[in-house]
Every structure is written in C-alpha cells, then in structure tokens.
Structure 1
Amino acid sequence: MDYETFELGDYSLQSGETLPDAFLAYKTYGTLSEQKDNAILYPTAFGDRHTDNEWLIGTGMALDPQKYYIIVPNLLGNGLSSSPSNTPAPFDKSRFPRATVYDNVQAQHRLVTEALGIRKIALVVGWSMGGIQAFQWGASYPDLVERIAPFAGAAKTWPQTRVVLEGLQAALLSAIRFDPSRLDELTSSDMRAVGRVYAGWGLSEAFYRDRLYTGLGFGSLEAFMAGVWESSFMKMDPHDFLAMAWTGQHADISGDPAYGGDFEKALRSIRALACIMPGSTDRFCTADDSRYEASLIHQADFQPIPSIWGHFAGRGIHPPDNSHIDGNLKRLLARDPAGNPPSDDAASSSATRS
C-alpha cells in the first residue's frame, strides 16, 4: 500500500446521513517545512486515484517535492477512501451514503489541520472534479487558502455536465433495466457501455477528425474505443461510479451553508489568487462557463489550455497541454498573495485578468 489513511470516525454528511468508520486515503510527496507554509493540496478527480495525479509532480516542475509538501487526498467513493466497494454492510454498494464535494473538502480540512497541523495552504490545484474541490476550498476557507488553480473543472455542475453524467448513469442502469431493486447486481463488465458513452465527451470532435488516437498506438477508432474507454471504465466498480456520479451531479460551491445557494456570492468570497484553466475545446466543463466564473473572482487569471484534447487536455497525456498547466502554476506560485510586487517570473507572464 503506497498511501496512508486518516480516520474520520462516524462522519456526518450534508445529507444528514452518517458514514460510519469513514476514512480518507491520501499520499504525500516532499517534506513539510518547519513553518508548515509549503503545503499544496491536489485532490483527485472522478474515477482517479492519487497515482493518476503524479504526472504533475516532479523535480523542476511547479509541484516540486524538493520545495513543496504535496498532499493528494482521494475522493470519497473512488475505491481507496471510504467507498461503496470497501464499506462493510449495511452501508456497502447501493446503500452507501451520498457525499457532496463540500463533504469531501470538510474531510480534507480535518486531515490538513488535525493530522498534519497545517494552518496555511499555498495552493489547491485539481483537474475536473479535483478542480471543483479547489474552488470549494477557496470559497469555504478563504483565510486558509492562498492560491487556487482549477483546470478543466468548474465551480459547480452546469446543466450540460449534469446531462452528460445522467447519460453515463443511464448506460449503466440499462443493464438492470432501471430496476432499483437490482442495483447490487451490477458488475464491472456493465461499465463497458459507460465507457462508450463517455468517449464522445472526454475528447473533442477535432481530436477524432484528425485521428490523434493513432499517435497513442491505436490503428483504428474501434481499437481506441475498446482499448481506452471500455478498458478504463471496466476497471471501475459500478457502485463506486454511481457514488461519484451523484457527487458530481450535485457539485456546487454555494452548497456551503455559509452561502445558502448563492453561487455568485460564493465565487466573490474567494480571496485566493486564482488561475482558471479550462480546455479550449472541452465539451464537459466548458470554457464559457469557466470564463463566467473567473469574472466573479477578485484575483483570477483566465488561461484556457489551447488544445483539441477536449476535457482530457487536463489529464496529463499531451505534452504541450502539460507545459501550459505547469507554466501557469509556476507563475501563480511566484505571485505573492499578500499583494507585494510580483517576482520577475510572475511579471513576465502574459496572463490577462478576467
């Protein structure tokens, strides 16, 4: 086991339900400074685990473990943290309590403050649902978080994304003819159809038109669909998938009780320096939605990833996309959240304020 666990005990959720003997699985990279001021939080995305975040961590990169203490908490429901697949009956499988993004961030806050003794976070960064968690951290803990950098992730689940998630779930539930009494019969092989549906949303039209999958070693579109989309989704437990899909569909940073559903108020409350990086061709978390969100954050740079890799421009696969993300993170980390003049590196950035 290459990760640690933080015990949450009987964890009260926003739904009013209690998740018994809950825990967060997490991994750290680097060393926490004596002042405990070099922490970076990097939550996982829907379906990902901490190892899927490692492409953005390394010597010489923005997330350099020689300089920073990088904490990667696994999402509730992802199979490592408390999930339908690892929770004992009677809260296993379809009976797993529903957890929100706010619930995840509250659990992470306990990890950071109680277990690690951290009182200031230099940066919260994340892709996709990890990006939503970065926004949530900025809104829920504006005095704790100095910077946020969501990439290909929105501050709430907009209707388009909700519809996509609904379609993915429908593809899975068709295996049991939408009979809720048969949910526990679902198996990972039933996830094949989910992969097929998501294939049209994870990447852009231009990616498929230009046959970029051939550069990944696939000689045909059919081979790519089976070898990437079917294969990756069939590795996922279907009940974990449904738990994370519910979390994703109900994501909204104004779900924090402090904002009472006022989304614009929640965005305006973010005092952290922000760099918002949507994929320019992302159909899942659109650049238009991100542009609107960035316009409401006091100190936000809007830096779309110029890529035809769609949502997966933030997945660590395409080197130019990776360089765009890493470069913007370096500039963001060089900026002083206290308002002092920026370093030369930060001043040279071509970032524009939105």
Structure 2
Amino acid sequence: MKKYQEFNLGNVKLLSGKILKSAKLVYKTYGKLNKDQSNVIVLPTFYTGTHIRNEGFIGKNRAINPNKYFIISINMFGNGLSSSPSNSNKLQRSSQFPEITLWDNIYCQHKLITEKLKIKKIALVTGWSMAGCQSYQWAAQYPNMVKAILPFCASAKTSIHNHVFLEGVKAALIADTNWNKGNYKKQPVAGLRAFGRVYAGWAFSQDFYRDKLYKKLGFNSAEDLLDNWAKDHEKNWDANDLLSKLKTWQLNNISSGPLYKGNYIKALQSIKAKTILMPCNQDLYFRKEDNMFEKKFIKRASLKPIDSPYGHCAANPGNDKNFQRKLDLNIAELLT
C-alpha cells in the first residue's frame, strides 16, 4: 500500500509568470468523507514538515479526529515530496527551480481538492507556522469555500523582522564554499549544519534556555540540542529545498496576486471564515502584534494567545501539553 498519493498537475503557470513543469502535489488523507462533504479538514505542511509530521496533530483522542473528519494533509512545494528543487523536471532542478509563492501553493491545492477529490466546501484549514500562513491564504484566495481557519504561530504577511531573521539562517547556509550558487554536486554540509544551529536560537524562547528546558526534550546541554539541530538539517534536507521554501515564506502576503493586487487590508477584510488566531507570546518571529493587527480587519476573528517557554516550538507535537490542549479546544470550537 502506498504511503501517500500524488496529484499530477502538468505544467502550471505561476504567479511570477514562469511555468512549473510537470508539477505534482504529494498528499495523504485520513478518515472518510461524509455524504454531505461537511467534514473536510485541510492540513498544509509547515517549513520543515511533511504529512508525516502533521500526524502529530491528528488522533482519535484529538480535536482533529480521523473517526469524525476527512483530513487532507498536503505537502507544500519545496519540501522534497511535492515538486521541489531536489526532485523537479531536469530543466528546473536545483538552482533552476522557479520562485514559488503561497498563492501558487493554494491555487494547486484547490485544484487537488476540487478536481481530483471533487470537494466543494472545507470545514477547517489549520496549521502551524508556514502551514498557518497557508490557512490565511486559503481563506483569502477562496473565501466562499472555507468555513473556518485556525493559524497558530503564523501570520497573513511575513513581517520585516521575520524576513530579516530568515536572511540570517540563509546567510549561514550559503556561506559554505560548496554552496556554489545552488549548483553543488554534494550537499553543502557545513552550511546545512550552520543553518540548523542558528535556527535553534530562534525556535525556542530565552526562557527555554534560561530554565534549561532542553533537558525535558532529552538533551543534557544546550550544545547537545544545537548539535541535534545541525545533524537534522544535514541528514534530512536538501539545501535548495530549504531555500526554495524560505523564499516562499519571505514572499508570504495574502494580498499578492490578481484578487487584491497588494491591498493587504482588503485581503484581510475578504476573509469570511470564522477565525481563531493563536500566537505564542514567546514566539520570537511570528509575533502576537501582527495577529492583533489582522484581527482588526478579519470580520469573524478572535485572538487567543498562549504563553509557553517553548516559543515558536510550543506547537511542535509533544513539546507543550498545555499548548496542545488549548489548540484542541480552539479547533473543537470552530468545528462545533
């Protein structure tokens, strides 16, 4: 039995005007679609996530329950499963892979859901970090299709500070002499390891390190955690894939595209979905203040911030049981 499914899109014209050749989306479904198609939940993937990592948000004792809902977990472009620099058409491999926006991702996800799965309504789009960014994009791009969204530790537009943070981890990666402007023959290992070590300082809060909470995650010291993050990025990620998704993240803005033509306020006001915004107060780059601004213009939005010393990684499955409990309560509220 195949572990996932593929949807072949053929050649796709991107928001940039370029063509993504032989595009494909990899996805996995859980549960069964009910007769009136009212039980659909869409779970896009986050920055270093796949549908497998998304399984940490799903469970028979969780709000996203496969016994009740039809869950569609979709891998975003650039994550190594869906079309990415590492697996794309030979003419678009590696450094030749085109720039992808979240508009492009959701345009193609919409085709999967409507053309392949024949679904017309979505009960909820939710996700962590970049997956949460995609939930806003869904609600703005297809406002009549999405009933509810719950982006957690995310934003509808990447802030300048968030953009700068990403430039920092990018700089660490491409400083590797083996990077060769993306035309490497072997992975730039030193750059990947540096990327992981720098990122670890942003993923958790200052309190996390002050209180040595890394010990609760199984690390004896901060250095052990840093080394783990370095090894994870070295072993599990292609450098061009990481940078492709990073560019997508930097370009995140729900007003990009033909509908709103850069009018960010209009894009927020267009969202019809019932919305719960769930930031972590200790998140170092997806800040509550950005969600507070969004709430002013999303008609049916509520803001439910949470405290966690785990910072952005409070949402990572298994890290913070209190975050998980409140996330499930919020999801249940939207699905009621």
In which range does the TM-score fall when normalised by the shorter chain? Answer: over 0.9
Contact 1:58 1:65 in 2 (8 A): yes
Work out the percentage of aligned pairs sharing the same amino acid. Answer: 42
Partner of 1:351 in structure 2? none
- Give the counterpart letter for 1:141 in structure 2: Y
Alignment partners' CA distance in 1, 2:264 and 2:117: 31
* Partner Cα distance (1:51, 1:41) in 2: 14
Query: Residue 125 of structure 2 contacts residue 148 of structure 2 at CA under 8 Å; is this kept in 1?
Result: yes
8 Å CA contact retained: 1:142, 1:269: yes
Give me the whole-angstrom Cα distance separating, in 1, the residues matched to 2:224 and 2:63. 35
Give ranges in structure 1 of 5+ residues lacking alignment: 335-354
The 2-side partners of 1:25 and 1:152 are apart by 24
State the 1:150 CA deviation: 0.2
Match of 1:340 in 2: none
| Distance (whole Å) between structure 2 residues aligned to residue 29 and residue 242 of structure 1 | 30
Alignment match, 1:352: none
* Structure 1 residues 171-182: aligned runs within 5 Å: 171-176=172-177, 180=181
Within 5 Å, which residues of 2 pair with 1:147-166?
147-166=148-167
1:176: how far off? 2.6
Counterpart contact for 1:188–1:236, Cα < 8 Å:
no
Segments of structure 2 that go 5 or more residues without pairing to the other structure are: none
Residue 179 of structure 1, CA deviation: 5.4
The one-letter code sitting in structure 2 at the alignment partner of 1:100 is T
Alignment-mate amino acid for residue 292 of structure 2: R
| Secondary structure class of the residue paired with 1:241 | helix
Whether the 8 Å contact between 1:132 and 1:153 is mirrored in structure 2 is: yes
SS state at 2:62 partner: coil
Task: Provide the rounded CA distance (Å) in 1 between the counterparts of 2:57 and 2:173.
Answer: 32
Residue 230 of structure 1 corresponds to: 230
- The answer on whether the counterparts of 2:78 and 2:245 sit within 8 Å (CA) in structure 1 is yes
Letter in 2 for 1:323: R
AA aligned to 2:210 is: R
Q: Shift of residue 147 of structure 1?
A: 0.1
Deviations 1:315-351 (A, max 9, x none): 12221111111111111111xxxxxxxxxxxxxxxxx
Native 8 Å contact 1:186 1:238 kept in 2: no
Shift of residue 231 of structure 1? 2.2
Inter-CA distance 20–324: structure 2 relative to 1 (3 Å threshold): same
Cα distance in 2 for partners of 1:268, 1:202 equals: 31
Q: Residues 66 and 198 (structure 1 numbering): CA distance in 2 closer, same or farther, change over 3 Å? A: same
CA–CA separation in structure 2 for the residues paired with 1:165 and 1:48: 17
In the alignment, what sits opposite 1:131?
Answer: 132
Deviations, residues 61-116 of structure 1 (Å, cap 9, x unaligned):
11111111000100100000001111131110111111100000000000000001
Q: Which residue of 1 aligns with 2:147?
A: 146
CA offset digits 1:185-215 (Å, max 9, x no partner): 4615230000111111111000000000011
Deviation readout 1:154-178 (Å, 9 max, x if unpaired): 0011001100111111101100388
Taking structure 2 as the reference length, the TM-score comes to: 0.96
* Misfit runs of 4+, over 4 Å: none
Separation (CA, whole Å) in 2 of partners of 1:52 and 1:139: 26
Q: Which residue of 2 aligns with 1:274?
A: 275
What's 1:287 paired with? Answer: 288
Q: Is the 8 A contact 1:94 1:184 kept in 2?
A: no
Q: Contact conserved, 1:175 with 1:186, CA < 8 A, in 2?
A: no
Q: Distance in 2 between matches of 1:11 and 1:71?
A: 21
| Count of residue pairs brought into register by the alignment | 332
Q: Which residue of 1 aligns with 2:90?
A: 89
Q: Is the 8 A contact 1:45 1:126 kept in 2?
A: yes
| C-alpha RMSD over aligned residues | 1.3
Amino acid at match of 1:84: P
Match of 2:259 in 1: 258
In the other structure, the counterpart of 2:309 is 308
